[in-house]
């Protein structure tokens, strides 16, 4: 199944489509493959399943890394920074003291894709 999103921040002047193929474990930005590590893809997938929602570092560590007891870690921060470099800084928002969110909305396509 492929999940599609587009930029939810029109004030940026940027609109991109992000497609995630769970079968291939591949992300596409505007139709072009984005070279992500397996861990970056897992983090993106967790964020993409909750577009526009703020997810805490602890929740991201539990869901993307399967940490049972996350504790203090900069791992999420480093991986979000890498996603920003590879996909676009404007797609990921840091909500200080809370966590991160993917600044996107589900994209409806004809035929229910």
Domains and CATH numbers, the chain: 2-106 (1.10.10.10)
Write out the DSSP string of the chain.
-EEEEEES-GGGS---EEEEETTTTEEEETTEEE---HHHHHHHHHHHTSTT--B-HHHHHHHHH--SS--S-SHHHHHHHHHHHHH-GGGEEEETTTEEEE-EEEPP-TT--
Q: What is the mean pLDDT of the chain?
A: 86
Considering the chain, what percentage of its residues have pLDDT values greater than 70?
Answer: 82
pLDDT at 69: 72
pTM: 0.86
62-102: pLDDT as tens digits: 999 988 776 777 899 999 999 999 998 888 999 999 999 99
């Amino acid at each position: 199944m492929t999940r599609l999103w587009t930029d939810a921040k029109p004030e940026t002047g940027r609109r991109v489509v992000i497609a995630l193929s769970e079968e291939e474990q591949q992300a596409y930005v505007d139709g072009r493959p984005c070279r992500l590590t397996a861990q970056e893809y897992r983090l993106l997938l967790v964020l993409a399943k909750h577009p526009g929602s703020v997810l805490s570092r602890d929740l991201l560590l539990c869901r993307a890394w399967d940490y049972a007891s996350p504790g203090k870690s900069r791992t999420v921060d480093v991986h979000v920074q890498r996603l920003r470099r590879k996909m676009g800084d404007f797609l990921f928002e840091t909500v200080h003291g809370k966590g991160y969110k993917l600044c996107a909305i589900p994209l409806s396509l004809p035929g229910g894709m």
